[in-house]
Chains A and B, each alone.
Chain A
Amino acid sequence: MAIEYLGLDSINGPLVVLEGIQDAAYDDIVEFVVEREEHKLGRIIEMYENKAVIQVFESTANMSLDNTHTKLTGHAMELPLAPEILGRTFDGIGRPIDGLGEINYVVKRDVNGLPMNPVSREYPRNFIQTGVSAIDALTTLIRGQKLPIFSGDGLPHDQLAAQIVRQASLKTEEEEEFGIVFAAMGVKHDVADYFKRTFEESGVLDHVTMFLNLADDPVVERLITPKVALTAAEYLAFDLGMHILVVMTDMTSYCEALREVSASKQEIPSRKGYPGYLYSDLASLYERAGILADKPGSVTQIPILTMPNDDITHPIPDLTGYITEGQIVLDRSLEGKSIYPPINVLPSLSRLMKDGIGKGFTREDHQDVANQLFASYSRVTDARSLASVIGEDELSDIDKKYIEFGNKFEREFIGQEKDESRSIEETLEKAWELLRILPRHELDRIDTELLNQYYKVGR
């Protein structure tokens, strides 16, 4: 194993080629020593007889064909793990950067993970109350779900994610342990600091493991960051039985790094220069969420991505939406109306809510109320566009009611304070208050009996 090779045969962007090596395996990690002092890591991404194509996780800027020694590690990328990773901070490839020393590891795990066997999974059903009405009522978060936030530059996705983390009462009656894994990819220092401060203020810092690849850290390194973070999450969840919430931001930087590497490999791109395997690659991350039938613990993911140009059809949000179990979509025009959180509920969705809400979970009227809010709010859009043509005064009475409903819905239901946590009952009560603006016969998504019970109350 200890053979060292001096020199390289070519360097092209983040890729280097080394010929004449023996016994190297596809996907193995190699160590480089540049100028006898600087250490870097790389991964073999193509292997031909005795020639390896290696992707370097850090900048190749100071490497030359002669100044680099290469050593095979003989294994894929591994992360040392132990309970003590809670409360610790690592760089984007899992090296401690908090000055508290190396991890005394119990196990080392291949960061690529393995696919969960569908027969070993348990279908997620437990409601997580985030205290945010738009989420709890309309895009309910379920323990073990992967529910991304689709945002745009400058929108308050960080505040929202932090609020969810703070307020999510992850604990059930049985006092189960919870933890947070935070992965930053290409975000600015102040974003990482903001999250750190939030964790500190809510007193959970010793339950948090952070992996930071910041904007000025090597681009290629961030291809590993979500993998190490999810490896840590799986360890905490399935070895230690904890309920883990994983926040990953910003997936867009991750995808851009992937595109960069793909381009330097001269692969045939599919859409917007992104490689054809972007879907499979993202899936290999997002699918690492869930619950196992025979083990305690769970991994819940809240990935954050910024939609380039606010375009939801851009390959990054598009492919993410095809993999995740819903999405929470932030909207610039709501932000423009100073509504926080600016969640556009219509394109937002939680696919797992159907089995995790209703009688015995949240409340019997939850599903119908949610359907009705969606249906009525989408009528608001029609009424508003008509108003913009013929003027609001000319609208029919019913359209005027819809406009009133829409405005209040945005301000009072979607809108709330950054530290306001509403119980699901409060949220549903608010919903009924608003629905009562509309005449009863307009509420065509709600069961007659539920209407009898809830429509009149409080009037």
Chain B
Amino acid sequence: MKELGKVYGINGPVVYVKGRTLFQMAEKVFVGRQKLIGEVISLNSKMTTIQVYEETSGMKPGEPVYSTGYPMSVILGPGILNNIFDGIERPLKDIEKISGDFIKKGVEVTPLNTEKKWQVHLLVAVGQEVLGGTIIAEVPETKTIMHKAMVPPNVEGTVIEIANDGEYTIEETIVKIQQLDLSIIDVKLAQEWPIRIPRPVSKRYESTIPLVTGQRVVDTLFPIAKGGTAAIPGGFGTGKTMMQHQIAKYSDADIIIYIGCGERGNEMTEVLEDFSKLEDPKSGNSLMERTALIANTSNMPVAAREASIYTGVTLAEYYRDMGYDVAIMADSTSRWAEALRELSGRLEEMPAEEGFPAYLASRIASFYERAGLMQNLNETEGSVSIIGAVSPQGGDFSEPVTQQTKRFVRCFWGLDKALAYERHYPAIHWLKSYSEYVGDLAAWYRDNVSPDFVSNRSQLMEILHQESALMEVVKLIGNDVLPDDQKLTIEIARVIRLGFLQQNAFHADDTAVPLDKQAKMMAIILYLREKCRSLIAIGMPMSLLLNEDIFPKIISIKYDVPNDKLELLDNYYEQIDLFYNKIMEKNA
């Protein structure tokens, strides 16, 4: 750490050093007497500009600025999971120990515990050739996740020394590698990686496997692939955070990285409290054992908000490299974009739309580009899926962040204010949303769920579209004048909306639903439609059909059939037949 300059000017999170300096672009620096962490964001012969990740109040011109020689990086190693960090990977529990209930600035903490001894089992032998990414050891990081220590991506050579199986800290050397140029590299459990540079992979695949979330409107109507990207735009209170919590809890990813980017403190507390208590359906352990949280709440420094997104995605890539399926929840990417805008404004850059900098689109693109199903350097396969909330100003999807995001994601789960007002949750609007993965995943659904899953899905969508057209008419003249087959469409659409799309996150069974149940519920609804259609075809009026209680019965399948008693679903076909026969007998 070398002093390379002195503070000249301070404007919020932006600090200037005057004159020509030896700093490097994107270098991590320590600013001022309190050694606040910062990053060099522009350099010219007159001025070096630094963004500071902590509050700068109290800083004076003339204070020293130190160089580190390294770009902004994170430490990657065991201890990331079951932990909560701020935007630049400082563990909040350690900060609490030093600074109490409120976060003071300039607190010095290491990202990962350097004293803890981990149980290490070596997987390489002396003399073995290794490449970047080669897995050299296994460490049970949490009850759920086996951590795999890897050769850093840019290292390759021959193993010349290994440690014995046993307990090591993240700073102890476990393998020595001699590279081609004869230099010797000490490989430890932890490695460092710059947050703004994607970790390298060998190959990118088209994903054909869904990330199963247990949320019907997602899995059935607008599925996302493992390694896919999705945006959840919606005005305040429409359910972005709830949706991300649900996916973080119930999706079949191996690992969850949850980034609270400029959102509420209580929401992070909620995740911490809930996830520690909730059981991971896959392993039976607590959900936190497969989760890492990154929290830059809305009242924490704005520059660290900009970094938090990159910190999160770098952690995710690291676990992907081990061969895991990782899902990132980023809530909310708009706050990240606004942090870019705020910093850009302080730098007096030329703004493009609504004050956002012109590079907004390229930043959003390069973030989502880091998702994907990959063949890793070590030939394992892993994926990073990114699900980003978008908080459009005024709830208006035509604003720049929503529009730019739409260009780079393949799932768009548009939340609707009117649905949220009537408490139809999740408020994902079926007419405003889409998934480009439906085709890619069709074969998987056919082989693993049911042969007619995809065609049933299309029928559901079709009914919903017809309903919306019919409702335009109903708004003007009322329901009564419609012919019975159209009334039926409206009633079936109602069953779909209330009984299928609406899903109660607070109901023990309904909160997450296996794909089998989703497929069967869908098939039952369509069977009901088929039977009603034939009744109407022979002249039975809709009002007669509605007198029977079959419609409410089908609507409450979601509550009445527990997820572990799916055999009960078969009864519903009988009940629909009974209803059919009853109408026929009574009115024939």
Flag the segment in A82-90, A217-225, A267-275 that touches B.
A267-275
Nearest B residue to A285, CB-CB: B299
Do A318 and B59 have beta carbons less than 8 Å apart? no
A321/B237 contact (C-beta < 8 A), A47-B61, A117-B95, A313-B396 known: yes
CA distance A371 to B559 in the complex (A): 16
Do A46 and B10 have beta carbons less than 8 Å apart? yes
A287/B103 contact (C-beta < 8 A), A279-B298, A371-B423, A389-B476 known: no
Do B556 and A325 have beta carbons less than 8 Å apart? no
Do A276 and B341 have beta carbons less than 8 Å apart? yes
1/0 per position for A285-319, CB-CB distance to B under 8 A? 00110101011000000000000000001110010
**Residues from chain B with Cβ under 8 Å of A287 in the complex:** 264-265, 297-299
CB within 8 A of A26: which of B60, B92, B262, B498? B60
Nearest A residue to B10, CB-CB: A26
B70 CB → nearest A CB, Å: 27
Do B264 and A47 have beta carbons less than 8 Å apart? no
Do B498 and A118 have beta carbons less than 8 Å apart? no
B295 CB–A CB distance under 8 Å: yes
1/0 per position for B316-335, CB-CB distance to A under 8 A? 00000000000000000001
B273 CB → nearest A CB, Å: 5
B393 CB–A CB distance under 8 Å: yes
A377 CB → nearest B CB, Å: 8
Nearest A residue to B260, CB-CB: A118
CA distance A28 to B61 in the complex (A): 13
Do A351 and B422 have beta carbons less than 8 Å apart? no
Do B269 and A268 have beta carbons less than 8 Å apart? no
B497-514 residues at the A interface, CB under 8 angstroms: 498, 506
A456 CB–B CB distance under 8 Å: no
1/0 per position for A364-375, CB-CB distance to B under 8 A? 000100010011
B354 CB–A CB distance under 8 Å: yes
B174 CB → nearest A CB, Å: 31
A99-145 residues at the B interface, CB under 8 angstroms: 112-124, 144
B355 CB–A CB distance under 8 Å: yes
B329-346 residues at the A interface, CB under 8 angstroms: 335, 338, 341-342, 345
Do B552 and A441 have beta carbons less than 8 Å apart? yes
B73-114 residues at the A interface, CB under 8 angstroms: 84, 92-93, 95-96, 99-104
Do A118 and B506 have beta carbons less than 8 Å apart? no
A41 CB–B CB distance under 8 Å: no
B302 CB–A CB distance under 8 Å: yes
CB within 8 A of B58: which of A25, A288, A327, A349? A25
CA distance A387 to B491 in the complex (A): 21
CA distance A20 to B298 in the complex (A): 36
B272 CB–A CB distance under 8 Å: yes
A395 CB–B CB distance under 8 Å: yes
Do B300 and A115 have beta carbons less than 8 Å apart? yes
**Residues from chain B with Cβ under 8 Å of A290 in the complex:** 265-266
Flag the segment in A161-169, A401-409, A442-450 that touches B.
A442-450
A229 CB → nearest B CB, Å: 16
B480 CB–A CB distance under 8 Å: yes
CB within 8 A of B354: which of A28, A114, A270? A270
B397 CB–A CB distance under 8 Å: no
A280/B298 contact (C-beta < 8 A), A47-B9, A385-B475 known: yes
A284 CB–B CB distance under 8 Å: yes
A121/B354 contact (C-beta < 8 A), A46-B9, A313-B395 known: no
A452 CB–B CB distance under 8 Å: no
**Residues from chain B with Cβ under 8 Å of A76 in the complex:** 57-58
Do A279 and B9 have beta carbons less than 8 Å apart? no
CB within 8 A of B556: which of A315, A399, A448? A448
A61 CB → nearest B CB, Å: 27
Do A322 and B272 have beta carbons less than 8 Å apart? no
CA distance A374 to B103 in the complex (A): 40
Do A378 and B421 have beta carbons less than 8 Å apart? yes
**Residues from chain A with Cβ under 8 Å of B104 in the complex:** 114
Interface size on A, residues (CB 8 A): 82
Do A115 and B102 have beta carbons less than 8 Å apart? yes
**Residues from chain B with Cβ under 8 Å of A28 in the complex:** 57-58
CB within 8 A of A318: which of B102, B103, B236, B273? B236
**Residues from chain A with Cβ under 8 Å of B348 in the complex:** 268
A125 CB → nearest B CB, Å: 10
Q: Chain B interface secondary structure, helix, strand, loop or mixed? A: mixed
1/0 per position for A175-197, CB-CB distance to B under 8 A? 00000000000000000000000
CA distance A49 to B236 in the complex (A): 42
Nearest A residue to B6, CB-CB: A49
CA distance A63 to B552 in the complex (A): 74
Do B302 and A313 have beta carbons less than 8 Å apart? no
A70 CB → nearest B CB, Å: 16
A345-398 residues at the B interface, CB under 8 angstroms: 346-347, 349, 351-352, 354, 367, 371, 374-375, 378-379, 382, 385-386, 389-390, 394-396
CA distance A347 to B238 in the complex (A): 10
CB within 8 A of A444: which of B396, B474, B555? B555
Do B552 and A26 have beta carbons less than 8 Å apart? no
A260 CB–B CB distance under 8 Å: no
B180 CB–A CB distance under 8 Å: no
Nearest B residue to A354, CB-CB: B506
Do B270 and A123 have beta carbons less than 8 Å apart? yes
CB within 8 A of B423: which of A115, A119, A322, A375? A375
CA distance A116 to B299 in the complex (A): 9
CB within 8 A of A27: which of B56, B62, B479, B506? B56
CA distance A27 to B12 in the complex (A): 9
**Residues from chain B with Cβ under 8 Å of A349 in the complex:** 237
B439 CB–A CB distance under 8 Å: no
**Residues from chain A with Cβ under 8 Å of B478 in the complex:** 386, 390, 394-396, 399
CA distance A217 to B474 in the complex (A): 55
**Residues from chain B with Cβ under 8 Å of A264 in the complex:** none
CA distance A347 to B424 in the complex (A): 13
Do B96 and A26 have beta carbons less than 8 Å apart? no
B549 CB–A CB distance under 8 Å: yes
B351 CB–A CB distance under 8 Å: yes
B118 CB–A CB distance under 8 Å: no
B259 CB–A CB distance under 8 Å: no
CA distance A294 to B498 in the complex (A): 43
**Residues from chain B with Cβ under 8 Å of A379 in the complex:** 422
**Residues from chain B with Cβ under 8 Å of A378 in the complex:** 418, 421-422
A23 CB → nearest B CB, Å: 6
B477 CB–A CB distance under 8 Å: yes
**Residues from chain B with Cβ under 8 Å of A45 in the complex:** 11
Do B101 and A295 have beta carbons less than 8 Å apart? yes
A117/B302 contact (C-beta < 8 A), A27-B57, A49-B61 known: no
Most buried by B among A123, A385, A390: A123
CA distance A380 to B12 in the complex (A): 50
**Residues from chain B with Cβ under 8 Å of A112 in the complex:** 57
A24 CB–B CB distance under 8 Å: yes
CB within 8 A of B498: which of A116, A238, A313, A444? A444
CA distance A394 to B478 in the complex (A): 9
**Residues from chain B with Cβ under 8 Å of A50 in the complex:** 61
Beyond A28-B57, A318-B394, 20 additional contacts (C-beta under 8 Å) are A49-B8, A114-B104, A115-B103, A116-B103, A117-B102, A118-B268, A120-B102, A123-B273, A268-B351, A294-B101, A313-B395, A323-B264, A325-B266, A351-B237, A367-B506, A374-B423, A385-B475, A390-B478, A394-B478, A396-B479
User: Can you report 28 residue pairs joining A to B where beta carbons are below 8 Å apart?
Assistant: A26-B60, A28-B57, A28-B58, A47-B60, A115-B265, A115-B300, A117-B95, A117-B99, A118-B92, A119-B92, A120-B100, A120-B102, A123-B273, A268-B355, A279-B335, A280-B338, A292-B101, A321-B236, A323-B264, A325-B266, A374-B423, A385-B475, A386-B474, A386-B475, A395-B478, A444-B498, A444-B552, A444-B555
Binding site for A on B (CB under 8 A): 8-11, 16, 18, 56-62, 84, 92-93, 95-96, 99-104, 235-237, 260, 262, 264-266, 268-270, 272-273, 295, 297-300, 302, 335, 338, 341-342, 345, 348, 351, 354-355, 391, 393-396, 417-418, 421-424, 474-480, 498, 506, 549, 552, 555-556, 559
